[in-house]
C-alpha cells in the first residue's frame, strides 16, 4: 500500500473510486472529473491524499478543501475506501499522513469536519482525532444523498467540529441574546478568546456586503455577512424572497463575532426566523457565528449525537428554534 499526495495520473482512479462507492450521486462532481480535480489540486483549493494498491489502483482518498471565507481554514471530508479494502487501517493511515505530514508542511492553522448525525460513526472518528464540536447544522443534506446506503429517512443534520494547529487569541463580541449559549460553547473548546459583550442597541451603518453560495442539490444557501450595514434588513428580505423562489429549504448565515455590532445584526436575522447554530472558529480569519433558517419543522427525531458536548450544543440549537414558536 502506498499513501501520498494526489498526482494527476490518479484522477481516473479517484473518479472510479467515487463511482464504485456512491454511483453517480456524490454531490460534489469535481471528483468525477479528472482534469477539473487536477486543476483544483494545483490551485490549492483541494488537498487530497491517495491510497494506492497493486499497480497503482486508487483504493482510498481523503481530502481537505476550501469552503470557509478564510482561505487558510480547510474542511476535511470526501474520505472513502473501496469496500473490498475496508477494515485494513487505510482510513487511519491516510488521516495520519494528512495530520503528520501535510498540515505541518503547509502551516494550515485550522481544519474542520462536518460529521453527519444520521449515525454516530463519523462523530466518534473526529472526536478520536482531537476535533471539538462547535456548532450543529440542522437539515443540512437531503435523504437522497444517502440513498445507496439507505441510512436516512429525512433530511440529515451535521455537526461542525474543529481542530486548531496554531493559536489565535482575539476578542469576540457575544450578542446579548446568545451570551449564555456562546460562553458555554467556548468553555471546554480549548480556544483562548477574550469574551466581550456586543454593543447594546447598536445602529448599523455603512454598506452591506453579502456573499451567497447556493447548493441546489441540497436546497441549501450559505450567506457570508462580510459587512452588516444600514440596509441589511432590506437586502436580507430581497435575498430570502429570491432564495425561496429558487426552492431553497435551508439558509445558513455567517456573522463576524469580531465585530462589536454583531448583536444588532443578529436581531435582524432573528426577526426573520433564524436561530442559533453555534461558533465557527477562525471562519473569517477570526471567529464567526452560525445562524440558520429551515423551511418547516426540522428532522429533529433522527438526529443521533455521540458525545455529551455535542448533545449540549444540539439542545441549545433546538431550544432556540422552539423559542421562535416551533413545535416541541
For the chain, what percentages of helix, strand and coil (3-state, to nearest 5) are there? 35, 30, 35
Residue 26: what pLDDT? 85
| Residue 220: count of CB within 10 angstroms of its CB | 22
Pairing relationship of beta strands 250-256 and 110-113 according to DSSP bridges: unpaired
Q: What is the mean pLDDT of residues 251-260?
A: 97
Say whether pLDDT at 262 is over 80: yes
pLDDT digit string (tens) for 130-177?
A: 999 999 999 998 877 665 565 566 899 999 999 999 999 999 999 999
Residue 289: what pLDDT? 98
pLDDT digit string (tens) for 58-104?
A: 999 999 999 999 999 999 989 999 999 999 999 999 999 999 999 99
Say whether pLDDT at 266 is over 70: yes
Intervals of CATH 3.40.630.30 along the chain: 1-108
Q: What CATH number does domain 170-323 carry, 3.40.50, 1.10.3470, 2.40.10, 3.40.630? A: 3.40.630
Please state, in angstroms and rounded to a whole number, the distance separating the CA atoms of residues 181 and 185: 6
pTM: 0.93
Nearest by Cα to 135 from 20, 283, 294 = 283
| Residue 205: count of CB within 10 angstroms of its CB | 10
Please state, in angstroms and rounded to a whole number, the distance separating the CA atoms of residues 92 and 261: 43
Say whether pLDDT at 4 is over 70: yes
Q: Which CATH superfamily is domain 1-108 in?
A: Gcn5-related N-acetyltransferase (GNAT) (3.40.630.30)
Q: What is the mean pLDDT of residues 222-244?
A: 97
Residue 327: what pLDDT? 61
Residue 55: what pLDDT? 85
Positive or negative torsion for Cα 49, 52, 58, 59: negative
The rounded percent of the chain whose pLDDT value lies above 70 is 96
Amino acid at each position: 500500500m502506498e499513501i501520498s499526495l494526489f498526482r494527476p495520473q490518479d484522477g481516473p482512479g479517484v473518479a472510479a473510486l467515487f463511482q464504485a462507492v456512491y454511483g453517480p450521486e456524490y454531490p460534489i462532481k469535481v471528483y468525477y472529473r479528472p482534469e477539473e480535480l487536477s486543476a483544483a489540486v494545483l490551485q490549492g483549493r483541494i488537498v487530497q491524499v491517495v491510497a494506492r494498491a497493486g499497480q497503482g489502483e486508487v483504493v482510498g482518498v481523503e481530502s481537505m478543501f476550501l469552503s470557509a471565507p478564510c482561505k487558510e481554514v480547510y474542511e476535511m471530508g470526501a474520505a472513502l475506501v473501496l469496500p473490498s479494502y475496508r477494515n485494513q487501517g487505510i482510513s487511519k493511515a491516510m488521516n495520519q499522513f494528512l495530520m503528520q505530514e501535510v498540515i505541518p508542511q503547509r502551516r494550515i492553522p485550522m481544519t474542520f469536519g462536518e460529521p453527519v448525525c444520521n449515525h454516530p460513526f463519523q462523530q466518534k472518528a473526529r472526536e478520536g482525532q482531537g476535533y471539538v464540536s462547535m456548532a450543529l447544522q440542522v437539515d443540512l443534506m437531503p435523504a437522497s444523498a444517502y440513498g445507496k446506503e439507505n441510512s436516512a429517512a429525512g433530511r440529515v443534520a451535521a455537526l461542525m467540529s474543529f481542530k486548531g494547529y496554531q493559536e489565535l487569541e482575539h476578542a469576540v463580541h457575544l450578542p446579548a441574546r446568545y451570551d449564555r449559549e456562546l460562553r458555554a460553547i467556548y468553555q471546554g473548546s480549548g480556544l483562548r478568546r477574550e469574551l466581550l459583550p456586543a454593543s447594546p442597541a447598536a445602529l448599523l451603518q455603512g454598506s452591506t456586503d453579502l456573499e451567497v453560495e447556493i447548493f441546489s442539490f441540497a436546497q441549501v444557501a450559505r450567506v457570508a455577512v462580510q459587512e452588516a450595514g444600514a440596509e441589511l434588513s432590506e437586502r436580507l428580505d430581497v435575498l430570502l424572497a429570491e432564495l425561496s423562489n429558487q426552492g431553497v429549504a435551508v439558509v445558513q448565515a455567517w456573522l463576524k463575532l469580531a465585530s462589536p455590532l454583531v448583536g444588532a445584526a443578529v436581531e435582524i436575522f432573528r426577526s426573520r426566523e433564524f436561530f442559533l447554530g453555534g461558533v465557527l472558529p477562525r471562519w473569517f480569519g477570526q471567529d464567526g457565528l452560525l445562524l440558520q433558517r429551515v423551511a418547516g419543522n426540522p428532522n429533529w427525531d433522527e438526529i443521533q449525537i455521540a458525545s455529551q458536548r455535542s448533545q449540549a450544543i444540539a439542545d441549545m440549537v433546538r431550544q432556540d428554534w422552539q423559542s421562535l414558536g416551533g413545535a416541541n
